[in-house]
Amino acid sequence: MHMNLESKVTINDIAKAVGVSKTTVSRYINGHSDMMSERTRERIRAVIEMTNYQPSDIARNLKRKNTNLIGVLIADMSTPFSSVLVVSISDYLSECGYVPIFANCNDSLQKEQEMIDSLLFRGVAGFLVNTTSCNNNYLIGVASRGIPIVLCDRYINHYNFNIVTFEQDAPFFNLVRHLKEEGYTRPVLFTQCWENNSSRRRRKDAILSAIQQVYGYDATEDVYLVSFQNGLSAAAQLDALLGRLKPGDIPAIIGTNSVTTVQTYKAIKSCGLKMPEQIGLCGPEDWNWQQEMNWAQLIEPTITTIDLPVRDLGRQSAECLVHMLKGETEGAREIMLPCGLNIRESTCRLHSQGDFG
């Protein structure tokens, strides 16, 4: 391949000359060539030497850690939760003189790794990560090289990262206790997949623990997976739940996030079931839009929610990273944000909403 050596050689030029992706060249430059064949490593090395390729000033600045660029990786930027998170992170970093570079990972661990490499090559000083998977050895490797990283809400196994997240046990215990006080005999959980998502897993575990403590039985069989990819819609799972009820059972569905709760609300309405008399519905409110746009207060009946302070999550995550960049923190920190319980009409069978203050 002909290459104009009089102009500045780019990483794209190197990739085309070698016949590999830009990500592969980036990994080589950043010391991640262990998984490459010896032939690929040698070809990249030879082309770099032949072209006298030099990484850009911004990439070299990474080693001096004096850039003002911050990589922000979001698992799925299409959700309302993510939009609030992005705005709060952007606002705080801008106040502090940093420039965020946002990357949507489309719930793909491979995409997340590619974005990490790309952002490292651009010279980011650190990362804020709402990860796609709790099993993430690649990000652990980046952290082990001394790159400052703060996790937003979601944990990663086998490494002690700085993280800002939400408390789970206390608010869900209070919610389940409220359901029992209102006469619901069978609390159940509707959730999206939790295997690689620590937030959903922690909520599932907190809810099951609360049911065990308050109701005195193991509710593992009352966990319903809502997944459009597997054909398991909220409507289909509601039908399954109704088919399993025993005489006298009064169910209350707890959604693990706003998306699941809204889908379940639509399913309940389509079935003609009365809330809160025949069935209850509640869940965490993780959209955190302005109060005049609070969906849980706009629909009828209004929905009982656990409010997750997403704006605070974004701001405190960014603040934690800025402290790391300035060398003002020692050791990993776990910041747990408290969550409030808003009792509304959808779970008030025996008492009015006002009875709870």
Co-location of 30 and 174 in the same domain: no
Is there a contact between 269 and 346 (Cβ–Cβ < 8 Å)? no
Band (pLDDT 50/70/90 cuts) for residue 73 is very high
What lies within 8 Å, CB to CB, of 262 at 6+ separation is 295
Structural tokens at position 109? 């661990």
Q: From the CA atom positions of the chain, what is the Rg in Å?
A: 24
Is 41 a domain residue? yes
112-135 pLDDT, tens digit per residue, is 999 998 899 888 999 999 999 999
180-223 pLDDT, tens digit per residue, is 999 999 999 999 999 999 999 999 999 999 999 999 999 999 99
Is 16 a domain residue? yes
Alpha-carbon separation of residue 108 from 28, 113, 136, 255 (angstroms): 22, 9, 11, 24
pLDDT value of residue 6:
43
The pLDDT of residue 61 is above 50: no
Total domain count, the chain: 2
Band (pLDDT 50/70/90 cuts) for residue 356 is low
Is 59 a domain residue? no
pLDDT value of residue 289:
58
Is 178 a domain residue? yes
pLDDT value of residue 62:
46
User: Mean of the per-residue pLDDT values for the chain?
Assistant: 89
Alpha carbon distance 104, 196 (integer Å): 17
pTM recorded for the entire structure: 0.79
Band (pLDDT 50/70/90 cuts) for residue 17 is confident
Band (pLDDT 50/70/90 cuts) for residue 57 is very low
Tell me, what CATH number does 235's domain have? 3.40.50.2300
Co-location of 206 and 350 in the same domain: yes
220-260 pLDDT, tens digit per residue, is 999 999 997 777 899 999 999 999 999 999 999 999 999 89
Domain limits at 202? 169-309+339-356
